[in-house]
Chains A and B, each alone.
Chain A
Amino acid sequence: MGASLIIIAIAGYAFLSVSGEYAAVTGEGGASVDVVSSHGEFVFSLEAQPGERFSYVTFGDLRLFCISSSRGLLETDILTGETSVVCSGRTGAPWFDSEGNLWYTRNGSLYRWNEEVSGSVPAFHVSVENGIAAYTDRNDRLRILTLENGRERVVQGYRFYAPRVTPSGEVIAPTLTGEIVYLPSDGSMMVVGNGEQPCWSSEMQGLFYSVSTDDGHELTGADLWFAVPGETPVRLTSTPDVYETNPECSGTSLWYTDYAAGTVHCVPFDELPL
């Protein structure tokens, strides 16, 4: 793989802004959220109050969203540092779509900013793009909801989690037994690979994912793969000392975390061995 740019040493995951110009990373124990640019410059740090813990960070360019253990769903302007509460109390994980909308669930309903869009999304994590919402129910079935007409497709046979909708409305979802499932809008379904943490790239018309190994207590390795649905997956890395996890795509680059070193890396697509 081409030379990667090491961004910053971190203890958690990287969350990309919509443009891919910024990444937000959580500090150890959720005590802070740091924002860095794709050039490696430190931009902003949101520090937790005593006893507070940040989690489920997402990022909308110059706005950062996360759940505070004590204040609810927070929005922070990274230029001014001004922080406000979007919604107090318990909410689901925030999701920022490619059109600049914030989505989250609360009490079984789906909200876009402060507007209730659907009254029947009983889930914590929801992904929304192009009028399609994907989530898993408490039986770990995958549910794909068309917001316009409330029509819902229920997919079972695997224990799904953390589904993602692509900007064009397809759904990708990992399963607890390791399959990565691709569900195009025509109602079909296929397993495209085995691993975790799939993310879709519209530019590459395929998905990146991580394949990890472990000893039951700690990871012992992880590498990145790329798959175009219907084609044989391609292994991108084979590095025993670098544990590539948490791939995320911007319009031009692949970002990932080196789990072992605690660093975030950014590689332009044209430097990938594809």
Chain B
Amino acid sequence: MSFLSSLLLSLLLSGVSVCVDPGHGGSSSGAVGEYALEKDVVLEIGLLLQNWLCQVPGITRVSLTREGDYDVSLQARTDYANSQGFDLFVSIHENAFNGSVQGTETFCGSLDPADPSFQMASLVQQGILSAYGYTDRGVKDGSYLHVIRETEMPAVLGEGSFLDYDLNWNESYLYAFDIDDHTGIQAWQYADAFCSFYGLSAPQWGNGVALIDDGSAGFSVNDSTLWQNDPSGAPWMGNCLVSQGGGQGTALWTSPLPVHGTRDLQLWWTSGADRTASATYVVHHSGGSSTFQADQLAEGGGEWYSAGTYDFSGEFSLELTCSESGPGTVVADAVRLVYPMGTGCAAEPGFQVSANPAASFTFTFPHGDQGSVQIVDLSGRIVSVVSGSGSAVWDPTDRPSGLYFAVDGNTGQSAGLVLLR
């Protein structure tokens, strides 16, 4: 068994953890496009990537170095990653030059073909190239880049495209309005590259929807004359809709793809002196519907506001209404669903696993809780589901030798199981 194979098997047995680093943020906008800024694009990609990777059995933790639009120093990013002992660090960036260059490039710590960071970078590069079809600017030595130089684990830095490109099309427009899933495609290519590298089953395409902006798929209004575009006041990705008064209006965000599990519902609107103090929202979730109000006047705008945590079991929709009689204008901009702050894949460890001489596996749930565990093979197929109160036992008598993953039905925590006969 090669060293790399040994390393990968070792990681698989204990699970893989990934640190996702959306570049820039806060006062550092990064590359500037006509319709979008690098710091916003890469955050959205990072959130999508986290959503997808968290669904993959064998990936135990996915954390972001920043989860919003604020400054995080490069030194803090790498010190954070090193202190957590992540297995992999990926920094997401977009490029810019003079508006006439387009292409994809990925940086790593070594161009040695045997180096894990080179192999990972090659997979990322090939994936984004195949999806976007831009010029291949290659896998490059990025050992001078801080996040590659100072991380203790294999690290890659991707520059998916040139955000300022504006010749045959406007690249930032594709990101701002997510034309043809432009943002999601890049996130999924990162996810697919990681899964390929670690021999894990790739997540299902689209199963981790994170953000619905006005103008993108999943957003609609009942009356386009009532809701007018108003690009002032820091809208998300370039524009937003503001009710102009004089009618009963509804804006609707729906997820075009299923959403499963607990998410923090976050809202973005723009600031203005005429904003309503009581924007009324109705969110539909697994427990039914909940109505809440947001003060779009006092809260300012131009940043994400949490509207609470909800459980979803496939469907998600959010309605925002404005009325003729209601004071102030109502803003309908972007909505996103993210994993609750800092939780990564699982908030707290769920089960503990032990094996006995008869080669069965026992999963013990904390506090005697009711729990269930999915047993998943290397192809991602669920081969068994066991449940119980306080504990559950998987008897693998009918299963061939090999590597399996146990996934906690409550927390998503996973653990590798080796079956030898």
Contact = CB atoms under 8 A, between A and B. Distances in A.
- Give the dominant DSSP class at B's interface: loop
Given A51-B114, A122-B349, A196 B73 contact: yes
A55 interface: yes
B325 interface: no
A178 B152 contact: no
A55 B86 CA distance: 12
A131 interface: no
Interface in B4-43: 4, 6-7, 10, 14, 23-24, 28, 30
Interface string A78-107: 000000000001101100000000000000
A161 B84 contact: yes
Given A29-B110, A218-B146, A178 B83 contact: no
Nearest to A56: B152
A32 to B, nearest CB: 15
B71 A177 contact: yes
A125 B74 contact: no
Nearest to A54: B152
A46 to B, nearest CB: 16
B347 interface: yes
Interface stretch (A16-24, A36-44, A209-217): A209-217
A174 B12 CA distance: 31
A136 interface: yes
Given A162-B83, A214-B146, A177 B14 contact: no
B79 A90 contact: no
Contacts of A138: 61, 63, 342-344, 346-348
B28 A216 contact: yes
Given A56-B152, A90-B14, A138-B61, A161 B83 contact: yes
B145 A218 contact: yes
Nearest to B24: A216
Contacts of B30: 216
A248 B152 CA distance: 19
B109 A29 contact: yes
A139 interface: yes
Contacts of A177: 70-72
Contacts of B131: none
B410 to A, nearest CB: 15
Nearest to A194: B73
A90 B10 CA distance: 8
B79 A162 contact: yes
B75 A69 contact: no
B73 A125 contact: no
B205 interface: no
Interface in A102-119: 108
B5 to A, nearest CB: 11
Interface in A149-173: 159, 161-162
Interface string B143-177: 11110000011000000000000000000000000
B65 interface: yes
Interface size class of B (residues with CB under 8 A): 35 or more
Contacts of B71: 177-178
B66 interface: yes
Nearest to A245: B75
Nearest to B3: A51
Contact of B7 (A70, A92, A222, A245): A70
A262 to B, nearest CB: 10
B85 A92 contact: yes
Given A124-B83, A140-B342, A214 B74 contact: yes
A222 to B, nearest CB: 7
A215 B29 CA distance: 10
Contacts of A159: 80, 342
Contacts of A90: 10, 14
Contact of A212 (B28, B75, B84): B75
A217 B343 contact: no
Interface string B80-101: 1011110000000100000000
Contacts of B347: 138-139
A66 to B, nearest CB: 10
B83 A55 contact: no
Contacts of B7: 69-70
A176 B80 contact: yes
B382 interface: no
Nearest to A215: B28
A4 B71 CA distance: 32
Interface in B331-346: 341-344, 346
B146 A219 contact: yes
A93 B145 CA distance: 24
Contacts of B70: 177
B307 interface: no
Contact of A222 (B10, B75, B93): B75
18 contacts: A51-B114, A56-B82, A138-B63, A138-B344, A138-B347, A138-B348, A140-B342, A161-B84, A162-B80, A162-B83, A176-B65, A177-B71, A178-B73, A196-B79, A197-B79, A210-B75, A216-B23, A245-B75
Interface of A: 28-30, 51-52, 55-56, 69-70, 89-90, 92-93, 108, 122, 124-125, 136-140, 159, 161-162, 174-178, 196-197, 210, 212-219, 222, 245
Given A176-B77, A217-B74, 12 more contacts: A56-B82, A125-B83, A136-B83, A137-B348, A138-B61, A159-B342, A161-B83, A162-B83, A176-B72, A178-B76, A214-B75, A218-B145
Across the A-B interface, give the 5 residue pairs with the lowest CB-CB distance, nearest first.
Answer: A124-B85, A162-B83, A55-B152, A51-B3, A214-B74
